[in-house]
Structure 1
Amino acid sequence: MHTLWKGAISFGLVHVPVKMFAATEDKDISMRYIHKECATPLSYVRKCKTCDREVEWEEISKGYEYEPGHFVLFEKEELENLSTGANKEIKIMDFVNLTDIDPIYFQKTYYLSPGDTGSNAYNLLLESLKQTGKIGIATISIRSKSSLAAIRIVDQCLALETIFYPDEIRPVQQVPNLPENATVNDKELDMAKLLIEQLSGPFEPEKYTDPYREGLLDAIQQKIAGKEVKAAPERQETNVIDLMSALQASLDAVQTDPGTKPKAKKKSAKKGTKKETVS
C-alpha cells in the first residue's frame, strides 16, 4: 500500500505516530474520449480565452468568484498558511458511540498503521477503544483541506473515516413531495413486514457484485477478440398492477426460490454472536 499521509493521533497529552493508507479503491473502468475519425485520444488544454494561448502550470493560481466575472486570487502559499496549522496531527476532541453518528455523515475510509515509533501508544489507543466501545471524533487536514473524522477499529486496525461538517448536510426539508401525515393500509403493512423478515439475514458483502462493471469488462474482452458485443437479456415485465398484488407476488417468489432466502444456520449464528460496536 502507498502511504498517503504521516502524522500522529493526539488525545489529551498522548501522541500516537501513524501512517495513513486508503482503505478503499475505485473499481470504475476508466475510458478516454477518442476522435472517431482517426481513433486518436483527445487531450485537454489549459487555454486562456483572453490571451488566446495555452497556460503553463506555473502561471496558474486559484480564485474565488465573489460576483459574476470578479475574482479574488490566492497563491498556493496563502492557502497553505490558512490551513489548520498542525496539519500533521489528528486531534481527537471527543469520544462518542458509533451509533450516535448517522451514516449520511461518512465520506471516505483510511487505514492507520503504527508509525516507525510509538507502537505501544497505537496498541493502547486500539485496546482502549475496543474495551470502551467508543470512537474518537477528531479533526485532520489532508491536502490543505480541513475535515472532521471518526477514529474507530476495523479488524484490529485503527481506521479514520472523514465525515461531513453539519452545515454540509442538506436539510431533509428541502426534499420535495415528502408525505406529512403518512397513512398505510394495515394489511399491506403486515405483508411488507413479512416480506422484510423473509429477506432478512446477515450482511455478506462478498455476495454483492457490480453487474455493469462485469458486463463492461466482458464487452471489452469481446471487442478485443473482434467479436460482436452481446446485449444483456431484458428483464421480464410482471403483470402486477397494485401494491397488494406486488407484495404477494414478492412473497411467493421468495418462498418458491430457496436461493433468495437467508440460510437458517447463519441466522442462528448471528443471534448467538455479539459483535463489538467499534469493530
Structure 2
Amino acid sequence: MMRAIWNGAVSFGLVNVPVRLYAATTNHDIRFHQVHERDGGRIRQKRTCSVCGEEVQYSEIAKGYETDDGQLIMLDDDDLATLPVASGHEIDVVQFVPSDQIDALLLDKSYYLEPESKAVKPYALLREALRETDRMAVVKVALRQRETLALLRVRDEAIVLQTMLWPDEVREPEFETLRTEVDLRPQEMQMASSLVESLSGEFDSSQFEDDYRQAVSDLIEYKREHGGGRPTPEAAPADEGDDMTDLLTALRRSVEAAGGKAPAEEPATASADEKAEEAPAEEKPKRSRSRTKKTEEAAEGSEEKAEEAPKKSTRSKSSSSKKKSEEDDEATTAKGRRSKSA
C-alpha cells in the first residue's frame, strides 16, 4: 500500500490545490547480504577511525569537509543551525514551459500528487490545462528540509512531481573524439535511415522486463527446491555483562596498568558444601605486617583454646555418663533389698 510521505499544496496564481505526495517508483532489485561462507552469519560493518583505529559511536561522529588545500573544516550542530532550511509545505509554480524544452538528463525522482477530497476540481483543472497546452510547470518545493527544483507533468489521470537536478550538477561531455570531423556519405545516411524505419514502433513499456532479475529469481528457487538452502543462523547474543563485572574488570585493568598485581579472582559459583570441603585444604592467609605482636599472641591464644575445646567437651561427656551409671546401680541394689525384706 502506498503511503503519503509529504503533504502540502500546489500554488499557481490565486489557485491553491491541497495535495499529498507519494513515491511513484520502487526498486525491485534482488538484494544479497554479505555472509560468512563457513557458517552463514551476517557480516557487520564497524565504524572505525582511520587514525587511532578505534570503533566510533554515532554520538562521536561529526561532519567534516576537506578543502582542496588539505584543510579539514569541522561543522557542529550550532553551525548547521545557521543554514537556511526550507520547511514550507507549498509547491510554488514559477513558470509553464513547453515539454520539448525539458532535457531528460535533468530529471531525478518521481512522485504522484493526490488531491484532497475538497480539491478534486482545481486539481483536474490544472491537469487538463497542462495536457491541453502541452506544457510542464517548473516549481520549487521543500523536501527533506531542502529546497529543490521540480516539474509538474501529467501521466494518465495523475499529476506527477518530478524532481530535477540543478544545472551545475549535470556534467558536460568534454570528449576530444566528439570534435573530430566525420565525412558521412549520402548512401550511408540512407541505409541508416532505412534501418531506423524498419525497427520503428510504438513504445509500450509492458513489452519489456528485467531478464536478469528473473534469472536470479529462478536460480534461487531452483536451489531452494533441490536442497541448496539451509536455516538462517541466529546471531550470537552480545555479551554485555552486568555493571559489577564491568566495574571489577575496569579496576583490574587499572591496577595492571599502574604496574601493580591484581588479586586472583574467586570462583563465580560454588555451593556451601563444596566450600566446606575445600576449607581445610586452603592455606591460611598471610598476616599483615602492620599487625602488632600483642594482636598475634591474642590470635594464637584463641587458636589454642579452640583446639582444647573439643577435648574438654569429651571429658565432660564421659564424667556425666559414669555418674549416671553409678546412680542406676545404687537404685537396683536398693530395690533388691526391699524385695528381700518383703
Q: Structure 1 length as normaliser, TM-score?
A: 0.73
Moved over 6 A (4+): none
In the other structure, the counterpart of 1:126 is 127
Amino acid corresponding to residue 196 of structure 2 in structure 1: I
Quote the Cα distance in structure 1 between the aligned partners of 2:48 and 2:204: 49
Quote the Cα distance in structure 1 between the aligned partners of 2:196 and 2:23: 35
Unaligned runs of 5+ in 2: 229-342
In the other structure, the counterpart of 1:257 is none
In the other structure, the counterpart of 1:187 is 187
More RCO (CA 8 Å, sep 6+):
1
In the other structure, the counterpart of 2:334 is none
Q: Are 1:70 and 2:72 an aligned pair?
A: yes
In the other structure, the counterpart of 2:206 is 206
Amino acid corresponding to residue 153 of structure 1 in structure 2: V
Classify the secondary structure of the residue corresponding to 2:178: coil
How many Å apart are 1:42 and its aligned residue? 0.6
Quote the Cα distance in structure 1 between the aligned partners of 2:31 and 2:106: 28
How many Å apart are 1:51 and its aligned residue? 5.7
Classify the secondary structure of the residue corresponding to 1:112: strand
Distance 1:115 1:81, change over 3 A: farther
Distance 1:15 1:210, change over 3 A: same
* Further displaced range: 33-42 or 154-163: 33-42
- Correspondence 1:1-279 to 2 at 5 A: 1-50=2-51, 52-67=53-68, 68=70, 70-75=72-77, 78=80, 81-86=83-88, 88-115=89-116, 117-172=118-173, 174-226=174-226
How many Å apart are 1:176 and its aligned residue? 3.9
Number of residue equivalences = 226
In the other structure, the counterpart of 1:234 is none
Quote the Cα distance in structure 1 between the aligned partners of 2:58 and 2:13: 42
Quote the Cα distance in structure 2 between the aligned partners of 1:107 and 1:157: 18
Quote the Cα distance in structure 2 between the aligned partners of 1:213 and 1:76: 46
Distance 1:80 1:222, change over 3 A: farther
Distance 1:76 1:18, change over 3 A: farther
Quote the Cα distance in structure 1 between the aligned partners of 2:78 and 2:28: 31
Quote the Cα distance in structure 2 between the aligned partners of 1:58 and 1:116: 44
Q: Which has the higher helix share?
A: 2
Amino acid corresponding to residue 205 of structure 2 in structure 1: P
CA contact (8 A) 1:20 1:112 kept: yes
Distance 1:30 1:177, change over 3 A: same
Q: Structure 2 length as normaliser, TM-score?
A: 0.60
How many Å apart are 1:215 and its aligned residue? 1.1
Quote the Cα distance in structure 1 between the aligned partners of 2:48 and 2:16: 47
CA contact (8 A) 2:87 2:146 kept: no
In the other structure, the counterpart of 1:240 is none
Distance 1:7 1:51, change over 3 A: farther
CA contact (8 A) 1:79 1:144 kept: no
Classify the secondary structure of the residue corresponding to 2:177: coil
Quote the Cα distance in structure 2 between the aligned partners of 1:184 and 1:4: 52
Quote the Cα distance in structure 2 between the aligned partners of 1:168 and 1:104: 10
How many Å apart are 1:78 and its aligned residue? 2.6
CA contact (8 A) 2:3 2:22 kept: yes
Amino acid corresponding to residue 49 of structure 2 in structure 1: C
How many Å apart are 1:138 and its aligned residue? 0.7
* Further displaced range: 121-130 or 23-32: 121-130
* Further displaced range: 156-165 or 183-192: 183-192
Amino acid corresponding to residue 168 of structure 2 in structure 1: D
Amino acid corresponding to residue 83 of structure 1 in structure 2: V
Quote the Cα distance in structure 1 between the aligned partners of 2:194 and 2:38: 57
Amino acid corresponding to residue 75 of structure 1 in structure 2: D
Unaligned runs of 5+ in 1: 229-279
Q: Which has the higher strand share?
A: 1
CA contact (8 A) 1:66 1:72 kept: no
CA RMSD of aligned residues (A): 2.4
Deviations 1:60-94 (A, max 9, x none): 343322243512314399369522352x2211101
